Structure 1
Amino acid sequence: MNIYDVSKKAGVSIATVSRVLNGNHNVSEKTRSKVISAMKELDYTPNIFARGLGLNTMKTIGIMCTDSSDTYLANAVYYVEQKLRSFGYDALLCCTGNDYINKKKYMSLLLSKRVDGIILIGSQFVNNSPGSDNSYIIDASSEIPIILVNGYLAGDNIYCVMCNDHDAVYNAASDMIKAGHRDFVYLYTSTSFSGMNKLRGFKDAMDEAGIHIDKDRFHLCTKSISKSNDYLSFIYEKNVPFDAILTSDDSLAVGAVKFAYKHGIKVPDELEIVGYNNSVLANCTEPELSSIDSKVEQLSSNAVDLLMEVLGGGSVSNINTVTADLIKRQTTKF
């Protein structure tokens, strides 16, 4: 038995059951009695973390990320942990890698540690392809709230905090088109929810401007400075012309700057480059890199605020978005 069964038996929402379990006073006595009666009839114990019915919590939140060496994910983990601490919560971090079995194993591990909620950082935890198995997340959400940072999965007790990646890339590409660019290259690192939204933003801007993009002009590659450098050199030697490069990650944009330097191409006069995430890498190139700021600190802070609201029995939206900004530096002049 789980919280869904209690919800159905009592004829109330899962959010209402959660409020009763967390001792929230914003529930009528009649509704509280219905929920408690349903739990008794179903012989449901609100999981061994002893969170329910106003009892004390473990005051611990699980955090999962695929790769703590990744600049974006490492920053997000830092901001999430700091914000949790401000609420008096401890954190347990699991670095899962991209293997589905490991993700499922670490989810089970965190549940066994009696955490009060789990924050999944990055969009690699959800497979949005038709027929994909995301049951390990959905099953966990029947017991505790799950927060996705820059990922999306529909479900009760699952809450998504994301950057509007589509609009961010679309707006940057549109600005470059208005500045006179027609020969684009788009480099991206992932087919995740976030990665596909970025790619759609690029394609939508091109379609709206009537710009044809052949297969050489958008490329999925490893998140690597050298790989993007190598690919751009490859198409350059094929005599594919380009004067504007957009990327889904700053590492790829740094590779583009190195490519330009190697081939004697002047940036931004002959080639304009825009990265993504506004990471520390943006300040490490010469010239410094223009980059889309995906607001990792705000996303992380909002994720924790949302989780605290849910744990307190509050009513919150399942989808929450923040708006990115383009930070213009020396690799652009538009």
Structure 2
Amino acid sequence: MATSIKDVAREAGVSIATVSRVLNDIDVVNEDTKKKVLDAIKKLGYRPNIVARSLKTQRTKTVGILVPDISSGFYPEIVRGAEDVANIYDYNVILCNSDFDYDKEKDYLRVLKEKMVDGVIYMSSCLEEETLDIINELDLKTVLAESKDKEGRLPSVIIDNIQASYDATKSLIDKGLKNIAFVGVNKGAANAWGERHKGYEKALQESGLAVDEDLEFFKDLKVKSGYKAVESFLATGKKFDGVVCSSDEIAMGVINALRENGMKVPEDVSVIGFNDNAVASYFYPKITTVKQPSYDMGSVAMRMLIKILNNKPLDQDQYVLDYKLIQRESSK
């Protein structure tokens, strides 16, 4: 027979109302009484009915994390940072993977609301106005990670993606490269991926170099996309001496395709990745890349969300974390 809240109250020698206050973290219970209740809960192995509790408190102590591609080497680190902080504050996590599918992403926002999550950390594959309207309509407490909305309506944790991609591209230009290709996800997306393309274009334009659409390729963050991008570039017959990539996985695919087509990295073509995943420093050649503080991005986002859920003021609602261009062997 399952242990009930009455059993806990009897074991601790307190009222059912007092046990309820402890479970709901209401401050009126003194520390000695709270300890008795927690000891009784542990001894009896009591697990509160989350559904019943949430109906009373309108809170489930559960948060959703929505990512576009959990197989990427980047997003699991954000999730780990967020989950570690959630565990500290006794929040459970529901993880949703949208597979770069915008419709699936919108559906997941609605599903998370139906699951009565208290809030969401949202990494968007396409942060359009319709998505923001859905979040507003559902009244979902939301913190953006990796991207921010144009008007800063939602709290966010990002790096300066435009400047980071600009720095990566400019580093190749400064070494004398003039025909630099780009491999990304969505050139017009209102998120980090769109901004990385903007940074690339900005660096070319400021250096008086033309943006050649034949040397741009957009798909997803996977290795295969990098490989197919090189096939696409070679098919045009145009020369290119550098490739800026939106992820380290893309950079790996680019390097493999170049190698298979008899081109050396970096002697013939320099390649720069993005994120500094664990494998970037073990791949051959070791990948020059933009290092993002992915774990910190997740942990800061979760701390912000928990403050919002507990009606505590944020120190700031738009965090821009530091990044670093890591020079390795894949670029001159």
Same fold (TM over 0.5): yes
Structure 1 residue 326: Cα displacement = 1.2
Change (3 A) 1:246 1:155: closer
Change (3 A) 1:99 1:289: closer
Change (3 A) 1:104 1:207: closer
TM-score of the two chains, using structure 2 as the length reference: 0.75
> Match for 2:119: what amino acid?
G
Question: Any idea what SS the aligned residue of 2:155 has?
Answer: strand
Structure 1 residue 157: Cα displacement = 7.5
> Match for 1:68: what amino acid?
I
CA distance in 2, matches of 1:308, 1:282: 33
CA distance in 1, matches of 2:207, 2:153: 41
TM-score of the two chains, using structure 1 as the length reference: 0.75
Whether the 8 Å contact between 1:250 and 1:279 is mirrored in structure 2 is yes
Partner deviation per Cα, 1:256-312 (whole Å, 9 max, x = no partner): 211221133222222211001111341342111111112211111110121122233
Question: Any idea what SS the aligned residue of 1:292 has?
Answer: strand
Change (3 A) 1:308 1:154: farther
Instruction: Structure 2: state its 5+ residue gaps.
Output: 1-24, 28-53
CA distance in 2, matches of 1:222, 1:65: 13
1:15 alignment counterpart: none
> Match for 1:312: what amino acid?
N
1:118 aligns with 2:126: no
Instruction: State the number of aligned residues.
Output: 280
CA distance in 2, matches of 1:236, 1:98: 27
1:168 alignment counterpart: 164
Whether the 8 Å contact between 2:230 and 2:258 is mirrored in structure 1 is no
2:184 alignment counterpart: 188
Change (3 A) 1:307 1:133: closer
Change (3 A) 1:118 1:207: same
Question: Any idea what SS the aligned residue of 1:226 has?
Answer: helix
CA distance in 2, matches of 1:230, 1:313: 48
Whether the 8 Å contact between 1:254 and 1:281 is mirrored in structure 2 is no
1:198 alignment counterpart: 196
2:305 alignment counterpart: 307
Structure 1 residue 133: Cα displacement = 5.1
Could you say which structure has the larger radius of gyration?
A: 2
Instruction: Structure 1: state its 5+ residue gaps.
Output: 1-21, 25-47
Q: Quick check: 86-95 or 239-248, which moved more?
A: 86-95
Structure 1 residue 154: Cα displacement = 6.4
> Match for 1:93: what amino acid?
L
**What aligned pairs does 1:259-270 form with structure 2 within 5 A after superposition?**
259-270=257-268
1:35 alignment counterpart: none
Whether the 8 Å contact between 1:274 and 1:332 is mirrored in structure 2 is yes
1:208 alignment counterpart: 206
> Match for 1:72: what amino acid?
F
Whether the 8 Å contact between 1:51 and 1:116 is mirrored in structure 2 is no
1:36 alignment counterpart: none
Partner deviation per Cα, 1:49-94 (whole Å, 9 max, x = no partner): 5557xxxx43221222233223322332222112211222111222
Structure 1 residue 117: Cα displacement = 1.4
Whether the 8 Å contact between 2:66 and 2:96 is mirrored in structure 1 is yes
1:285 alignment counterpart: 283
1:329 alignment counterpart: 328
> Match for 2:76: what amino acid?
A
Whether the 8 Å contact between 1:294 and 1:325 is mirrored in structure 2 is yes
Partner of residue 297 from structure 1, selected from 252, 274, 295:
295
**What aligned pairs does 1:32-47 form with structure 2 within 5 A after superposition?**
none
